[in-house]
Amino acid sequence: MNFDFHLHSTFSDGSSTMEDIFIKGKELNLNAIAITDHDTTLGLNLEQELSEKYDIPCIPAAEFTAVEKGVKLHVLGYHIDKDSKELYNYSSNLLNYFNERSKKQIKILKANGIDIPEDEYFKQSQGGPLYRAKLLKTLANFGYLDAKDIMTSLKKYFGPDGICYVPDEFKYNDFESTINLIKRNKGIAVLAHPIKIKNKNEDLYYELINSNLIDGIEIYHPSITQEIKDELEEVAARKNLIITGGSDYHGLYNKKGTPLSGMNVPDFVYHNLMTIK
């Protein structure tokens, strides 16, 4: 089987439109897709239309941000209700927040001699917020930056000491509330790339991978080492958790450079996720 259950489009922080993803998916003969854009369901109806147009089954999904004990982490929600009013409102509120934050960052860039009209930045949004890489893509389009340096320039521009640092003050849900949000809206909750949590707070990592709240763990991900994979497989077997995986594709905005369907994920992941009702 050829599939990818962790992808990002322009509806969040990816550089590829949803249609670009499906066109590429058709070229790769994908059997299924799950576009897991960050904190938004605003693209899920379009995804369903493209799924029918290109004859590639899709799972409605999103990757939700949570903050637990001061650590920002992610929970994947699969088979969520794409028409949920609650999720629509959550997505819209976050989009509006990020748009206002981006306007502040654009003003700072202008004050630092980068005089690009605001609407030129927002052309990069294409349905989603102006995440940091999208802002830098605009700079690249106007010759202030080389496109190949976008991801390595994030810290320079947006790190705590960056020239256009604006703190993220959105009130994300805690871990349990994020799980409840997913489950209230018909989804299953999967802890995303757990190694990133371990790198920040090892105690929290062990607490969350052993949590009774989650339905699954993402084990097949570009960040997962063999040691962590073995550890997570033991936890999943002991707790009867669903195992998921995917490339975490972001197109141009991809730190690891993993291409679409670039992870070797076992067929059982496809069968487990596709047969959930």
**Cα-Cα-Cα-Cα dihedral of 97, 199, 184, 220, to 10°?**
110
Residue 133 lies in a domain: yes
Predicted TM-score of the model (pTM) = 0.96
Residue 108 lies in a domain: yes
Residue 97 lies in a domain: yes
Domain of 111 in residue numbering reads as 90-158
- Rounded Cα gap, residues 163 and 104, in angstroms: 12
Residue 41 lies in a domain: no
Residue 141 lies in a domain: yes
Residue 183 lies in a domain: no
Q: What parts of the chain have a pLDDT lower than 50? A: none
Residue 210 lies in a domain: no
pLDDT digits (tens, 9 = 90+) for 35-58: 999 999 999 999 999 999 999 999
Please count the structural domains in the chain.
1
pLDDT digits (tens, 9 = 90+) for 170-228: 999 999 999 999 999 999 999 999 999 999 999 999 999 999 999 999 999 999 999 99
Residue 247 lies in a domain: no
Look up residue 105 and give its DSSP letter: H
211: buried, middle or exposed (CB in 10 Å: 19+, 13-18, 0-12)?
middle
